[in-house]
Every structure is written in structure tokens, then in C-alpha cells.
Amino acid sequence: MESGESQSGRWWCPRGAPSIIPSSIGGTLGTLLIATLLAYVVVLHQRRKKLPPGPWPWPIVGNLGVLSGLPHRNLHKLAAKYGGLMYLQLGQVPCLVVCTAAAAKDLFKTHDATFSNRPKRLDHQVISGATYKSLTSAPYGPYWRQVRRVCNTELFSPAQHQSHESVRQEEIHSMMKVLMQASQTGDAIDLQSWSTGVTANNMTRMLINKRYFGTDISDQQQQKDFEELIDHVFGAAGASYISDFIPYLLFVEKLRGTVRKLEAIRAFLRRVLGKIFEVEKHRQRTLEGKRDANYVPDFVDVLLKTPLDDGEQFTDGEIISILSSMMSAGTESSANTVVWAMSELMLNPDMRKQAQEELDAVVGSGRLVQESDIPNLPFLRAIIKETFRLHPAVPLSVPRCSNQPCVVAGCHFPANTRLILNIFAIHRDPTVYENPDSFQPRRFLEQHPEVDHISGQSSYKLIPFGVGRRMCPAYNLGNTMVILMVANLVHSFDWSLPKGVGLNMAEVFKLVNFRKEALSLIAKPRSPAYLY
């Protein structure tokens, strides 16, 4: 046998001898690897000539890295280099990112219906039990249209919105008493928790005709559970799952424990919301013919009685999914906007004083701010617009995907192309807004008085509620609640930070853009008599 050959026919090398054969094999493998990479680069380069500009993708994962951390800011930085319509390769998924008002207008004027579908996501699949039956997650089609129609008719139509005015006023008045009590002891108030209490009670009264949270926030386990649930749900919705973009890597999410965590959120959601909505109790009441003559039917009863186009009824799971999306969208986004507005007013005391002077002139000192006052408060409305612009509640709109192949900007894209609307970047478009990173409410009184932030169709310069068919149906409610809460906070109290505490404006992304640190302020009553 030759010294270089083993009995098995495999090459071996005596210890200390030159490794001639392995080096040759290694050189061949290295050459093949380099050739493969070159071929990959050439093919990708040729393909990308036919696509909108965008960053170069890594093998396998593509541009998934930009979705980590603060993705709205990452994409905003990239847009400065690549433009308002940008292409990303997210694993196996092609993706278009819209970052300017002009690009949004061009795309949605033509392709709104095409990009009105929702991509399937791991969190939706696990938390909703793979039903995709909420207003947020349902695919674009007959079922989604029927759910949207029911919600618009029963909850968000102009007539329904007007009919709930007294509810909104009562809930704000009730929670203003909480602030008054805290001001007497000098305790700092967590405005996120306070505003969530207002919006949550408003939503439960709209949905089931009763207040769910008590007025003593610190002692309410129900509110604690709800706030924890919202934090988990939004955290899950804001996360990126590698299996959504590379399906064969689902095992990675299982190994990381992600699926197990999502299953725990699903169980927690059903427990918390089950106590709130009591769907089975509603069903039994319906079957018994409403024996209580004083009972007023609510939105759960409406869903139980609404026939679907195929003659079937909503299941209990579908009803919980619909109600869950209503509660989450109708509470935390508005509450969070109030917190950002107050944060900016704490940084700008001159603006806060000007807003108080306007409120005093219109409202006086003997009552709460009412909805009828809003048209007479132009500076306050400008503050709210500027807050929506600088701190959109959902800086990256809930992702959409195309339901068929389409041509965008002369480029061909397959069905299931992902679409990300970067509202954060659109609101900072330097071709629209001067000094876009500065809080300047007067821009909406002087340079941009025509901007309507709740139209969703006529203007793409300010779109905090999204655009087109998939825009938030509760835009009118959200806008009204934010204005009323901020107006009454500023009108009824003077505010200060606790001694020795600074104001950190850092943010954290959980689909909704939250403050990284809670905003806790001390309230001093200005005209307390009407708060008792």
C-alpha cells in the first residue's frame, strides 16, 4: 500500500508531513465557493436593475436586519439614500417600503385594492388560533368587508359617534376626579395608565354598555391585567419572526421558545377578555329571549345575531378576535398619543401656556372642555396634529401584501409582495415639512392649514390613521378622544415633573411607538370646583 493511501481508499497524511491532498481539495472548495458567490452577485445585480432602489441583501436573510430595534427609524435613514419607494428582500419575501407622501399618493391611487391583503404572521396564527378573523388580520375579501361594515354601522358611523358623546364626556369627567384626588396628595400620576383607563372604559361602554375599570387605578387588578395584556399583544405584533420570511426556519422560533410565549399570550388574552365580554353569557341571554326587560342589547349581541354571507353565524372565537382588535386599537393608540402630546408640552412650556390661554378664552373656568368647543380651539387642534405627525401611534402601518401580481413604478412584482407604509418617515418628509424633527404646531395654522389628518384619501402628508381601504375605521373616535383628553388635562391643571426627574424622550417599538420611560407628572388644579 502506498504511504499516502489507506486501506479504505481514503487519503491520509502522516503526522508532520505536508498536507498536499487536503490543501488541493480545500483550494477546489474555495474556488467553487468564490465562483458561487460571484454568480450570486451577478444574478442579483441583473435582477435588481429591474427593481426600485434599496440596500444590498445578505444571502438567505436578505435585509431582515433593518426590522430590528427601531425599524421605522432604520427605514427612514435608508430612505434618505434610496428614495421614497424602496425595495427590500426580506428572506424569501419581496417588500416595497413607502417613505414619502408623493410615493404614497402614487401607489395608493392605483394599487390600494391590490395591496389590501394581510400577510400571514406567526403571532396572528398562534394567538388567534390560525383563524385570521379579526378586523385587523382578516384577508381582504367578503368576510373582512362584512366585519368592517358591521363595525362601521354599529360603532363608528357619524350617527353612532355623535350618540356616544355623553359616554366620552362622562368617562373623561370620571377620570379627571382621579387626577384631582392625586393632586391633593402631591403624588405623581402615570399618564399612560390614566389615559388607558379613560380609553378602555370608553371602549367597553361602547361595546358592552358598562364600565370595566374602576376609578381607583392603583387598586384595580383588572386594569393591571389589561395593561399587561396590551403590552404583550403589542410586543408580539411589533416583533419580526424569521419564519414569516423564511418558512423552513420555523424550528428556530420553536427552539427560541417564541411559539410557547405566544401560546401563553393567547391563554392570557382569552382569560382577560373572556371576563370583559362574557360571550357565552350573552349567547345564553339571547337564547332565553332576554328575560330582563331592562337589558339593553350591546355590540356582542349584534355580532351574535349578524348572519354572514354564507348563512353561518360568527363563532365565539371570531367574536373574541373582533372585540380584541377593537379594544387594543381603541385604547392604547389614543392613550399613547395623549402621553406624547403632554411630553412635548412639558418640553415647550410656552406652547402649554398659549394653549391654556386659548382654552380659558373659549371655555372659561367653570366647566370641562366639551366637544362643541373643539372647532373654536385652532391652536390646540394644531398641537394634536403636530403630535400625530411627530409621534404617530403606529409608525409602521400594519403590513399589507398584494393579492395578485402588479406593476409598480414600471417594475413587476408577484402576489404576496409585502408593503410597509413608513408613516414615521412620511411625516418627516423634508420636501413637505420644514425642520421636520421639530415640534412646531403653528405649521398647521400657517404653512399647512389645509392638511386633513383623518381623511385617509385626500392628503398623504399626514396619515396617522393610515390610508385607503385598510385605514383605521375608528379615526374619528381616536381623534376626538385625544383632543378631549389633552384639552382637559391642560385646561384643568398645571403640570410639573417630580423633583430631580428629567424628561427622557427615548422610544420603544411594539407596533405602537411607546415612551421608553413612563411619563409621571404632578398635577396642580387650576379651577377645581367643577371636578368634584
- In this structure, the dihedral spanned by the alpha carbons of residues 278, 233, 237 and 302, taken in order and rounded to 10 degrees, is 20
Query: Quick check: helix, strand or coil at residue 5?
Result: strand
Contact 95, 87 (CB under 8 A): yes
Contact 104, 461 (CB under 8 A): no
Question: Per DSSP, what are the bridge partners of residue 93?
Answer: 90
Where helices occur in 246-372 by DSSP H, the ranges are 250-255, 258-277, 279-287, 299-305, 316-347, 349-363
User: Residue 387: which of 443, 446, 344 has the closest Cα?
Assistant: 344
Q: How many residues does the chain have?
A: 532
- Does the annotation place 472 within a ligand binding site? yes
Residue 429 gets which letter from DSSP? Answer: -
Other CB atoms within 10 A of residue 368 CB: 17
Which contiguous run of DSSP H or E holds residue 123?
Answer: helix 122-127
Contact 188, 179 (CB under 8 A): no
Measure CA of the first residue to CA of the last residue in the chain; give whole Å: 103
β-bridge pairing 400-401 and 85-90: unpaired
CA distances from 202 to 133, 171, 209, 262 (A): 24, 6, 9, 28
Rounded Cα gap, residues 372 and 352, in angstroms = 21
Contact 85, 91 (CB under 8 A): no
Please work out, in degrees rounded to the nearest 5, the angle formed at the alpha carbon of residue 505 by the alpha carbons of 456 and 184. 100
Which contiguous run of DSSP H or E holds residue 96?
Answer: strand 93-98
Contact 432, 440 (CB under 8 A): no
Tell me the DSSP string of 186-218: T--EEHHHHHHHHHHHHHHHHHHSS--S-S-GG
Residue with cell 372642555: 369
> Known binding site for heme: residues?
472
Q: Which residues are annotated as a binding site?
A: 472
